[in-house]
Structure 1
Amino acid sequence: MKMIIKIVLTAILLPFLALSQVKLEVKIEKTNLKLGEVTQVNYVFNEEGKNFVPPSFAGFNKGGSYVSSNEVYDNGVYSIQQVYTFVIQAVKAGKVTISPANIRFDGKVYSSKPVLVSVSKEKVSEVIQRNQNPPPIPKQTATSKTIAGSNNLLFVDVEVNKTSAFVNEPVEVYYRIYLAPNLDVELNKKIATKFNNFWSQTEDIQGGWERSVVNNHVFKSKVFKKAILYPQKTGKLEITPITLDLNINYPTGDYDFFGQPEYSMARREVVSNTKHIQVNPLPEKGKPDNFTGAVGKFEFNVNVQKSELKSGESLQLDLIVSGNGNLKLFEIPKPSLPSNFEIFEPKHQEFISENMKGISGKIMDSYTVIPQEKGVFKLKPQQFSFFDVQSKSYKTISSDAVDLNVLQGENQANIAATSKSKSVVAAQKEEAKSGFEFTFMHFIGAVSLAGFALLFFALKRNKKTVEEEVVTEVKPVKKDFSVTEIQDFISNKELFYQKMEVKIAEFLQHKFSLEKADFNKENIIQKFQEHNVSPENTTDFIGLLQSCEKARYMPTSDANMQLDFEKLQHLVKVIGV
């Protein structure tokens, strides 16, 4: 009776036991291969296992692999299905056995069955998509190359048009994704690229797939992003890898009722390879004295508003640099003018286009110039220098000389008339004085001793007064305010100019009661004028502020930083706090 009950229970429970059986199955795409042919092997585990150990795949080259998981609904029961996918290439002819894979679950180890594969001696030149029709890939755009470590089903490669460049020389960067022909991907979200030590311009590219052969493997590939980089420091600079968050559609190895392959989706992050650019400093040999950091291909012109004007009238002088290159990262040299021309700070304008061809356009400095005297003047040619990356040499452009005819202005005529009147009066006084010459000489002889005595005491007293006035005019620097500590940071450009900005801000707040929100060129000049700061010191102070601003995006040397430090130290002493 007990035996009958056992048989009945076994018959009832056997289907459920079979349904819940834990197993590791192996599914291979093809078991008959040619030498060099590629196939796909899937290991399917119907639980959430751990410590999966793949076979060694002796006799095969192991390419890419990936893991996915699915929820399976079968006969009213949900279960988890883990899939471990490998792509292998036959490299040994004959009967080759793929050994079992192992996985651990609930304290037990489960193994797959071994697989026997027949590999013929016939070679295959290239691998095509199997058991399905791949998306059309135009053969005329096929590329063939070798990329280290790129046998995966999916990877991203960083391509550069050069691996060595000068500072501010443009470098083109292309991001290309490679994908096995039987896979499809979609981007989950855009991930911004960051380029340390480079000025950059990027663009997303919507292009079609190309057929590519990498390491004798066939892929479809396309460029999805391009960047133009302008290196800002020397040395070996890294192009930061890009990370993509992708949804991957891949074949499961099963087929539907109509014989079409079934697909599943897995989410995966893919990181590109890393590229380095060796950035060289611009050569010192042949560097012009007026070189300010321009790199590219440029033209230089000087325009004047008019060729004839009166003394005391203003004239606009435009210095224009146009072309392709780092237009935002250098200054136009100041013009050289005759000493009797008054010149004011320029108005800077930029007309620049930034795209994937680089930076192009023009920049212009417009100066207001006022001649102080009449005459015919020749403004000598102005010069602009840049580094030409094509010829790897410095180029200097000279403008044409400018002839200016300065007529006598009203102010100058008044000054001349006044001078003439003074000369006439002086002559009349001299003539009148000559009539009393004999009597006056006798008088001087009588009072000379008394005069010298009075003069001695007057000069002595006056000297004391002048010394007191000088001491009052230039106020001593307070002992608790010093700029010497920023000299310790000269070896670190960013930190040095940050510290300098802080010191300048403290100085302006204490001396002129200027709040940080009011720190602009116009307000500073106005305050300096109110406190009778000389135009030369005002110009030098504004120049220091510009140096701090440029330090964020332009290279500089320790020598320039030392000069800026000494200039700030001098201005603080002269202007006072």
Structure 2
Amino acid sequence: MKHKLIYILLTLASVITYGQVNLSLDADKSEYGGKDIVNLTIVLELNGSDLVQQTGFQLPDLSKFNIIGSGSVTNTVIDPATNTLITQKVSRIALEPKKKGKIKIGSVLVTVNNKIYKTEPFDVNIRDLVDKRSLAGNTSNEVFLNMEVDDREVFQDQAVIAVLKVYSRNLDNLRKVKNIHLPEQDNINVHPINFNKSEIDPSGSGNMASQILAMFMVFPNEAGYVEIPGVSASVNSYSNKNKIISNKVKLNVKRLPDGAPDCFKNAVGKFKVNVYNASKEKPEAKKPMNVVIKVSGEGNLPDMELPKIASSPDYEIFAPKITSKVSPGTTGMKGEILASYVIIPKKAGVISIKTEQFAFFNPENREYVDLGQKTLDFNAFSHEQVMEARSTVEKVNDYTNNLLETVNTPVLKTTSFKVKEKSKFHWNILLTNIAVLLGLFVLYLLFKTWQKKRTLVRETVPSKSLGSVAETEKEIKELLKTDINDYFSYLENLKDNGEYEKFFDTLEELDQEVRSQYFHGSAAEFKTFLENHKGSSVADDYGRLQQKIQMEKYAPVKSHEGIEELLKTIVNLYSQISK
């Protein structure tokens, strides 16, 4: 009988405690000074899996305070003793009192399972307030920064969107906030979304106008509680410059689930991997080729560890060049990242290039996705096989191209008539080449006839006065001066046709022509001349240009973008020198 009574009492106790709701509102202290901030903490605890919070926290009348910051965090645990689900939601509100004396803080209301719960009201005592002046020359024009985060509970390396807002009673102060510096910390990676200011909201919190200053993404790279440092900015006035800092935000970063593949590094989001040959020429043994690994998708794309090309005795690998094309998305940074490798096949025959295995974690489905290896198979030809594979028409075209390249003048631009390799026989191409050669021969005859007529006309024209020695020297220099615009057009044509070897030969000829205008032989002497007559900045730019030319000239694989950037630098510098 005694054991039955104990069992009944325990059953009643479990029924009473099951489904318990605890709601509390507390301040960090009961008495505050004039400069103190009142911190309110709201705690809602639900003991039971059948309890559902139907409304958010309904705050009491806080018109006697200025709300300068707020935040909340939710934790869920299971009590191992009773096997009960416990959900705890904690919210904090930072208040600035407007008046002194005893201020009453009312009840917080919340609805759980169609029942309203409320807290008990209490009083806080505010001592004498201090008249604050945040800006020199202004009265009661405080400016506050507040950083707001959409989700404080995320996985490791998952994106968190943060919004930076400014609050002030004076609308003019909002326009003076500048020089925004985003937080920097080892355990977070920060990427800006935009710094576009929004329209001013005159009805902000605490009867203050507000404006969005910036939006940025935060990727926490470690699990646990991670604190985002405050964002700093400056408020510029006519008399001085003040620095303001926003609130800090604490994130609950969840550790990634167990069961990750061995090839998983730190990729979180949704991604695809592709590998392809970016070289236009046929793969040839012991000749460099360009192989690209493209990773596209949305997530922590700029900070993730990219898959690499696996080593093999069949080819040699060089360090890749990384190119990124990313922009902010809804769940992370989206776009693509290209890793461009220089690969040199060591033998002829079938070669298989494989990437490392790659896996990522999808936070939406909370599962790991293993993409495995990506393979690029190709047949590398020997040099003899490449030469034997050329058809008769291709050999004729190659001979014609070599002949056109021997016309050493940038004015004719004969390389524009070069014939690209075709897989089929085209009579039109052959006839076009013959017509071009006949046209050049006719132009040559016409040019010789014109020269003879010009010589006869000069003989009949009376000789002009020789003039002074200075005038004669100036005239000779003008005659010697080369029109470098012809060289620029010719180099542009060579760049578009991919004739990089001829491009650098013509560039060397251009440099010699420009230096000869000033009667300086070597590049070192010419640099000294530029420093004395054009300034040290032009001389330094000339020296750096020569180094850049050498690097691009002897690069194993030349990129079209690099040559185009080099040509822009050449046009700007040599146009400035030849003025």
Whether these two folds match at TM > 0.5 is no
Rg (Cα) greater in structure: 1
Higher relative contact order (CA 8 A, sep 6+): 1
TM-score normalised by structure 1 residue count: 0.37
Decide which structure has greater strand share.
1
